[in-house]
Amino acid sequence: MHGEYKVHGGKLVVVDLEVHNGSLANVSVSGDFFLEPDEALDDINRALNGLDAASPASEIADAISAVLPAGVVLFGFSAQAVAIAVRRALAKATSWLDHSWDIIAPTVLPTAVNVALDEVLAREVGAGRRNPTLRFWDWNEPSVVIGSFQSVRNELDPAGVEKFGINVVRRISGGGAMFMEAGNCITYSLYLPQSLVDGLSFEDSYKFLDSWVMAALESIGVQAFYVPLNDIATDQGKIGGAAQKRLSNGAMLHHVTMSYDIDAEKMVQVLRIGKEKLSDKGTRSAKKRVDPLRRQTGLSRAEILTTMSETFTQRYDAQPAELTLAELAEAAALVESKFGTDAWLNRIP
């Protein structure tokens, strides 16, 4: 069995192995990484031989770490990276190219329907009724989408919400509030099996799932990077944030909103941006924290969306797809029963 894992920003780890009576055997770890001293590679292989083939990635990584003497240097990889390669060899973890990807172009829908579709499509992927999918959002009405665990009264200024006719919706993932007017943001959702991030920490999974969009931004002159846990930034300021939700059926949702041409003056009248939240951001103004892509690129929103779509398609051989009538109907029903109700919105008043 053969498994490979390319560390984000690091080196390639390759594992060849066999399974005898439910245990790992004849394990051979290789790659273009650096390791000192050389003998540590034998220690890693010995730690893996005899392990239960059903071991989760965390146990595999712990077994490697336990045998490495003090002073061993792993450069460009880690025990976790080896564990992921082992899991891939065993077909317990997957890579991007193990899946057939669909991509759904921006479709103008009410914000509540967009939020509901995140739950619907993640469930469909987990059930095997839909390929893993990238979907770009579009909408017309000014909205705020708050995180699953945020308080309505703490996050929103009622006067600003009423003044600007803001539609407020709560999503299923955690994280912070998204201020979204038509054309001022770029939002996308990934629906995928959790096997794609098997062995990755929560923090690493964010960077891993957005590696393609970092490449897309780089191609248009934007050098973006992650600020743990879930902020996407450049040296000129924050441009967006990500959030995730893992479902019990083995699927997960990863979605991102990036500022294109945000009205910062309006945003701070709608959102309560507290001093405590800004205290670790190195700035005293929420308006200074968000630096739109329009200013950084000089490109239209449509041009940026096209670049993102083309980058994803080329990397993962994605095929164009559309929302089905059944999925749209299920999303509409979820708006009626959940996302459009006061009970869901105000579950944390």
- 70 and 122 in a single domain? The answer is no
CA 171 to mean position of chain CA atoms: 15
Residue 265: which domain range?
A: 97-345
Residue 130: CB partners within 8 Å, gap ≥ 6?
102, 121, 124, 191, 327
- 167 and 72 in a single domain? The answer is no
CB atoms within 10 A of CB 317: 12
- 243 and 320 in a single domain? The answer is yes
Which whole number is the average pLDDT over 33-40?
Answer: 96
- 83 and 109 in a single domain? The answer is no
- 167 and 80 in a single domain? The answer is no
CA-only gyration radius of the chain, Å: 22
CA 44 to mean position of chain CA atoms: 30
Question: What pLDDT sits at residue 9?
Answer: 85
- 81 and 128 in a single domain? The answer is no
At 55-102, the pLDDT tens digits run 999 999 999 999 999 999 999 999 999 999 999 999 999 999 999 999
Confidence class for position 280, pLDDT limits 50, 70, 90: low
Question: What pLDDT sits at residue 277?
Answer: 56
Question: What pLDDT sits at residue 229?
Answer: 87
Residue 341 sits in a domain whose CATH number is 3.30.930.10
Which whole number is the average pLDDT over 323-330?
Answer: 98
- 78 and 137 in a single domain? The answer is no
Question: What pLDDT sits at residue 284?
Answer: 52
Question: What pLDDT sits at residue 274?
Answer: 55
Nearest to 2 by CA among 12, 13, 14, 19: 14
Residue 71: CB partners within 8 Å, gap ≥ 6?
none
Nearest to 106 by CA among 333, 293, 332, 323: 323
Using CA atoms, how far residue 35 sits from 38, 61, 67, 224, in Å, is 6, 16, 14, 29
Q: Residue 44: pLDDT above 90?
A: yes
Structure tokens belonging to residue 78: 């880690």
- 113 and 253 in a single domain? The answer is yes
Mean pLDDT of the chain: 94
Q: Residue 34: pLDDT above 50?
A: yes
Residue 6: CB partners within 8 Å, gap ≥ 6?
12, 13
> Which of 61, 89, 117 represents a domain boundary (last residue)?
89
- 159 and 45 in a single domain? The answer is no
> Which of 60, 89, 118 represents a domain boundary (last residue)?
89
> Which of 56, 89, 122 represents a domain boundary (last residue)?
89
- 195 and 306 in a single domain? The answer is yes
Confidence class for position 275, pLDDT limits 50, 70, 90: very low
- 167 and 314 in a single domain? The answer is yes
Question: What pLDDT sits at residue 237?
Answer: 86
Residue 11 sits in a domain whose CATH number is 3.30.390.50
- Checking DSSP bridges between strand 319-321 and strand 237-246, what pairing results, if any? unpaired
Confidence class for position 51, pLDDT limits 50, 70, 90: very high
- DSSP label of 96: G
For the chain, the domain total comes to 2
Q: Are 122 and 171 in contact (CB under 8 A)?
A: no
- 102 and 23 in a single domain? The answer is no
